[in-house]
Structure 1
Amino acid sequence: MPGTACALEGAAAALPRLEALARALGGQPFRLAPGGKAAYHAATVVASNYLVTLAALAQQLAAQAGLDTDAASAVLGPLMRQTLDNVLALGPAAALTGPIARGDAQTVARHLAAIDDPLLEAAYRTLGLATLPLTALPADQREALAGLLKTDPKP
């Protein structure tokens, strides 16, 4: 338990005792907003479970490009580790790189055209739309990318 983050939510009178107990066990307690447990749990699912899903989707695309699992892991693993380190050190907006951060609609269109799995394409579009607010792009570029990501360019 030493160093474990301990989310606390509950009756205000009980929280100081719960904090003391968590500290006594070596934990690092923190309080959630009242009613915040479900949102906190969803955040941990996105950060952990969906990171696994993102890795699987990236490996699927790498396989489409001709990489076997070992080669894909060798390329994607260090990239994902460095990106996570950058996000934690700099924050999401400052760590963002890539075609959406640059406003490169042509590259995004090529990516969409190359993806051959409907579920993977939907994930790319959804994540791209969620990425747009992190950019420092002018509104017109952001809107153009949003339109591209919302529209299926395939015949």
Structure 2
Amino acid sequence: MLPQWFLVGAGRCGVQLARAIEASGLGVAGVETRSPRGRARVRRALPGVRTFGAGDALPPVHGVLVAVPDSAIPACAEQLAPRLHPATTVVLHTSGLLAADALAAIARSGPATGSLHPMVSFPTAVGPLVRLAGAVATVEGSAAAVREARRLALALGMRPVRLAAAVKPTYHAAAALAANLTHVLVVTARDLLTGVGFSRRGAAAALRPLVASAVEAALSARGMENLTGPLARGDDAAVLAHLAAIPGEVGAAYRAVADLAVAALANEHLLNEMRIRGLELALTGHARCGRFQPLT
């Protein structure tokens, strides 16, 4: 019986997926990596799994999973196409942004092509195995590739969801907002707390239940009805105080996110016009007439 999968790329995503595939019992025939650090990472995380260089012929496997940066996928496909074993019938990439046509060079040589994008974060390659069970994996590509991507997702305990190629940029932007940009905001909030006397560990401990409860409230809501804090109350004085305390790039980020919230609160009629106007003025650095002086 052929080993099921071969991985191209020894970064966080590639190594984590290879470990998950090994743990599932499907088997990994090898990992292609170009750097000594990548080879060392594979040896550490996947003892006994062979590493391949960029010029090596690939072994006989059912499928190849390409886990390299998005910008490298088309060139990687060009280099892989002549080296694929005749037994390989499907090649998938793991980009959430790009569609199957990023693998056009491989599709011309015969294998079915598509994509499988796990909706999880892979913070490390060799740290704890990221839990995939229950996570969504979006799949896209030719009919044969989608079938194989679904099988792999299910074997790893994920829930496959098929996407059209045209919507992948919007999908990926949503994932980035929810994960990557949330990461930035939480780290920024932690740094603000350390600046007022919290230890780094203490700031993390303080934020953990706050962030978890806010995310749960957001995911259980239809819109902004579960939002809490000054914006939800229409408290322009608090917003002005916040902006006075966090000038510069952090203040600009606060304004950008708050603008989205105020627009949604207005559209959902959760605040009256006076409070909406007060928030809008505060976000430009001004107070409502008769209450506060403009920020200088």
Give your verdict on TM over 0.5.
yes
User: Cα–Cα, structure 1 residues 95 and 151, in superposed 2: closer, same or farther, change >3 Å?
Assistant: same
Q: Residue 259 of structure 2 is aligned with which of 123, 126, 129? A: 129
- Cα 1:36/1:65, change in 2 over 3 Å: same
Is 1:64 the counterpart of 2:195? The answer is yes
Deviation at 1:92, TM superposition (A): 4.4
Residue 21 of structure 1 deviates from its aligned partner by 2.7
Aligned to 2:181: 50
- Structure having the higher helix fraction is 1
Q: Specify the alignment match of 2:218 in structure 1.
A: 87
How many residues in Structure 1 have an aligned counterpart in Structure 2? Answer: 153
1:7 partner SS: strand
SS in 1 for 2:134: coil
Measure, in 2, the Cα distance between the counterparts of 1:81 and 1:89: 12
Give 1:143's aligned amino acid: R
Question: Aligned with 1:38: secondary structure?
Answer: helix
Q: How does 1:7-86 map to 2 (within 5 A)?
A: 7-10=138-141, 13=143, 17=147, 20-22=150-152, 24-25=154-155, 26-86=157-217
- Pairwise CA distance, 1:67: 1.9
> What secondary structure sits across from 2:201 in the alignment?
helix
* Of 94-103 and 142-151, the range deviating more from structure 2: 142-151
Larger Rg: 2
Query: Which residue of structure 2 aligns with residue 120 of structure 1?
Result: 250
SS at match of 1:90: coil
CA-atom RMSD in angstroms: 2.4
Equivalent-residue separation in structure 2 for 1:94 and 1:10 (angstroms): 38
Assess if the C-alpha contact under 8 Å between 1:59 and 1:72 holds in 2. yes
- Report the 3-state secondary structure (helix = DSSP H, G, I; strand = E; otherwise coil) of the residue aligned with 1:49: helix
Deviations 1:54-93 (A, max 9, x none): 1111112212332221221121111111111222223441
Identity of aligned pairs, percent?
Answer: 33
1:6 paired residue number:
137
Q: TM-score, normalised by structure 2?
A: 0.46
Counterpart Cα distance in 1 of 2:153 and 2:252: 44
The equivalent residue for 1:138 is 272
Q: Which amino acid aligns with 2:237?
A: Q
Name the CA distance, whole Å, in 2 between partners of 1:14 and 1:38: 23
Matched, 1:151 2:285: yes
C-alpha distance 3-74 of structure 1, shift in aligned 2 (>3 A)? closer
- By relative contact order (CA 8 Å, sep 6+), the higher-ranking structure is 1
Q: Which has the higher strand share?
A: 2
Deviation at 1:94, TM superposition (A): 2.5
